[in-house]
A and B are shown apart, each in its own frame.
Chain A
Amino acid sequence: MASMRRPAAPPISGKFCDDPVLDYKDTDNLRRFLTAHGQILSRKRTGYCTQCQKQLKQAVKRARHLSLLPFVG
């Protein structure tokens, strides 16, 4: 039986995450990895490995602390 699942959207970071430089000051780049409500996208959507996703999480949380990014949209 054919699967009814919707095909997964391509990851935002590209096919591979080759050690991205995620800085809390680069808010335009970080916004790509947030939903419209300001939540961090899942690893499935970002396409990042464990270490890179942790870097992303850390950068977003630092930007939120400085009010560069919202906690909620």
Chain B
Amino acid sequence: MTTVYEGMFLLDNQVVREDWKKAKSIVTDALEKHGAKVVCARRWDERKLAYPIRRRRRATFCLAYYEMGSEGITALRRDLELNENVLRYLMLAREGLPEGERELAAAEDAADFNAPTPPADDAPETHTPRRREDGEPEAGADEMGEAKAVPRDADLEEADASGKDE
């Protein structure tokens, strides 16, 4: 028995910037691979995220409606989890297709449709140590892996011994 599902997929903007159709095919191919029949899929929105996901501050939302049985859901979830271009997803069982959804998806398939390019300020966050104006790193901005000079036990023993001699 097949059920109509609504899926919302967060796609990485780096893939969307290259080509929207290619980004959409990541979702539709994954669905069809697991036996789903995609009724319609469209770009829902591109927006700033409320909190960063995998260091991305913006993402493109792809809304898809598809019919599939329950047997392929687990494998589909696993595939989506492993896919680096899908930041997050939500799949819900629906009673039917909402009104107007098919028309919105068809408008996207038209030849003259151009998906807006995502803005450039969604580059992945990178950790950079704070620097003073003269270019020297601040005292508290040491590299994480760099261990600070801690006196060894042998040094302390030597210091104690020298103190006793005096």
Which one, B44, B63, B88, B92, contacts A67 given CB within 8 A? B88
Across the interface, name the chain B residue whose C-beta is closest to A68: B50
Q: Does B59 contact A (CB under 8 A)?
A: yes
Across the interface, name the chain B residue whose C-beta is closest to A70: B50
| CB pairs A–B below 8 angstroms (14 shown) | A24-B90, A25-B8, A62-B90, A64-B50, A66-B8, A66-B88, A67-B51, A67-B59, A68-B47, A68-B50, A69-B50, A70-B50, A70-B51, A71-B50
Q: Which residues from chain A sit less than 8 Å from chain B, CB to CB?
A: 24-25, 62, 64-71
Number of residue pairs A-B, CB distance < 8 angstroms: 28
Across the interface, name the chain B residue whose C-beta is closest to A38: B50
Q: Please give the number of chain B residues whose Cβ is less than 8 angstroms from any Cβ of chain A in the complex.
A: 14
Chain B residues lying within 8 Å of A24, measured Cβ to Cβ, are: 90
Main secondary structure of the interface of A (DSSP, over half): loop
Give Cα distance in the complex from A64 to B90, angstroms: 11
Would you call B90 and A67 a contact (CB within 8 A)? Answer: no
Give Cα distance in the complex from A62 to B90, angstroms: 8
Across the interface, name the chain B residue whose C-beta is closest to A69: B50
Give Cα distance in the complex from A62 to B8, angstroms: 10
Q: How far is the CB of B85 from chain A (nearest CB, A)?
A: 16
Q: Does B53 contact A (CB under 8 A)?
A: yes
Chain A residues lying within 8 Å of B66, measured Cβ to Cβ, are: none
Give Cα distance in the complex from A27 to B59, angstroms: 16
Would you call B51 and A65 a contact (CB within 8 A)? Answer: no
Of A62, A65, A66, A71, the most chain B CB neighbours within 10 A belong to A66
Would you call A71 and B44 a contact (CB within 8 A)? Answer: no
Q: How far is the CB of A17 from chain B (nearest CB, A)?
A: 21
